[in-house]
């Protein structure tokens, strides 16, 4: 059916009311006390690692020293004492019941020019050569019988040293090994065991 006709002179239909516009959101600022609290919290978080490091570092150092370094140091210090005790226990005993001492031979006032110094620098030294206490060879007698050969061997070893050799760390230990090896090679058998310096001057 067709819609009924509107009577003439009827007022026009009322327009739909306009929707009110939404007001923009207003930013609400926190009170000053809240801002200060937030800043303090942020500041504490920033300093927290530094505070932990300051207090934790000494504690960690103490734990490391107490339970790691000190036990290792004590272990190292106890090893030489144990080695000496074992060496004394294994040392041969003389007729009087006392440990037999190794025989020695002394080189005194040995003077040599150092290599590469054109005779301007020299080494003056005195030392004892010690034999093996377990061996039956009397090193003093062997060295006296071969004094000329062994003195020449000593001069060859010492005069081959340079000033740089003597300035290196552990130079004396290297010289000891060279002398012991040279003596045993010259004698054709192992007689010398160690060298102990009583005088060592470089001029």
Q: What is the pLDDT of residues 137-151, one digit of tens each?
A: 789 999 999 999 999
Tell me which of 90, 112, 129 is where a domain ends: 90
Q: Do 198 and 119 reside in the same domain of the chain?
A: yes
User: How far is Cα 122 from Cα 118, in angstroms, rounded to an integer?
Assistant: 10
Domain count, the chain: 2
Tell me which of 43, 60, 90 is where a domain ends: 90
Residue 182 has pLDDT above 60, yes or no: yes
Residue 180 has pLDDT above 90, yes or no: yes
pLDDT the model gives residue 138: 87
Q: Do 109 and 84 reside in the same domain of the chain?
A: no
Exposure of 110 by Cβ count < 10 A (0-12 exposed, 13-18 middle, 19+ buried)?
middle
Residue 158 has pLDDT above 70, yes or no: yes
pLDDT the model gives residue 25: 57
Average pLDDT over residues 22-38: 56
25 assigned to some structural domain? no
Residue 85 has pLDDT above 50, yes or no: no
pLDDT the model gives residue 117: 86
Q: Do 116 and 197 reside in the same domain of the chain?
A: yes
pLDDT the model gives residue 119: 81
Q: Do 186 and 116 reside in the same domain of the chain?
A: yes
Q: Do 111 and 183 reside in the same domain of the chain?
A: yes
pLDDT the model gives residue 132: 77
Q: Do 86 and 120 reside in the same domain of the chain?
A: no
Residue 95 has pLDDT above 60, yes or no: no
CA torsion, points 147, 153, 159, 165, in degrees to nearest 10?
-120
Average pLDDT over residues 151-174: 92
Share of the chain above pLDDT 90, in %: 35
Q: Do 145 and 58 reside in the same domain of the chain?
A: no
12 assigned to some structural domain? no
pLDDT the model gives residue 39: 54
123 assigned to some structural domain? yes
Task: Please provide the average confidence, as pLDDT, over all residues in the chain.
Answer: 73
User: How far is Cα 131 from Cα 124, in angstroms, rounded to an integer?
Assistant: 23
Structural domain harbouring 65 = 34-90
Q: Do 59 and 123 reside in the same domain of the chain?
A: no
Least confident of 6-10, 43-47, 127-131, 175-179: 6-10
Q: Do 129 and 169 reside in the same domain of the chain?
A: yes
User: How far is Cα 48 from Cα 41, in angstroms, rounded to an integer?
Assistant: 10
* CA distance to 57, 63, 66, 76, 80, per residue, from 70 (Å): 18, 10, 6, 10, 17
3 assigned to some structural domain? no
Q: Do 108 and 198 reside in the same domain of the chain?
A: yes
pLDDT the model gives residue 81: 45
CATH of the domain at 193: 3.30.479.30
10 assigned to some structural domain? no
User: How far is Cα 107 from Cα 151, in angstroms, rounded to an integer?
Assistant: 8
Q: Do 86 and 127 reside in the same domain of the chain?
A: no
26 assigned to some structural domain? no
Beta-strand ranges (E) seen in the chain are 104-113, 122-131, 192-202
Grade residue 53 by pLDDT with cuts at 50, 70 and 90.
low
């Amino acid at each position: 059916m067709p819609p009924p006709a509107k009577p003439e002179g009827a007022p026009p239909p009322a327009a739909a009311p306009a929707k009110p516009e939404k007001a923009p959101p207003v930013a609400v600022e926190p009170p000053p006390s809240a801002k200060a609290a937030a800043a303090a919290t942020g500041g504490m978080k920033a300093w927290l690692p530094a505070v932990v490091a300051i207090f934790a570092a000494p504690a960690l150092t103490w734990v490391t020293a107490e339970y790691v370094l000190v036990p290792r140091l004590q272990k190292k210090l106890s090893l030489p004492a144990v080695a000496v005790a074992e060496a004394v226990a294994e040392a041969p005993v003389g007729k009087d019941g006392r440990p037999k001492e190794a025989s020695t031979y002394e080189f005194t006032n040995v003077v040599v020019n150092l290599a590469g110094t054109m005779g301007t620098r020299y080494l003056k030294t005195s030392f004892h050569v010690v034999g093996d206490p377990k061996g039956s060879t009397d090193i003093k007698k062997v060295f006296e019988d071969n004094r000329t050969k062994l003195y020449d061997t000593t001069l060859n070893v010492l005069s081959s040293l340079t000033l740089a050799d003597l300035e290196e760390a552990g130079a004396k230990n290297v010289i000891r090994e060279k002398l012991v090896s040279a003596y045993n090679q010259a004698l054709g058998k192992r007689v010398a065991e160690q060298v102990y310096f009583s005088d060592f001057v470089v001029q």
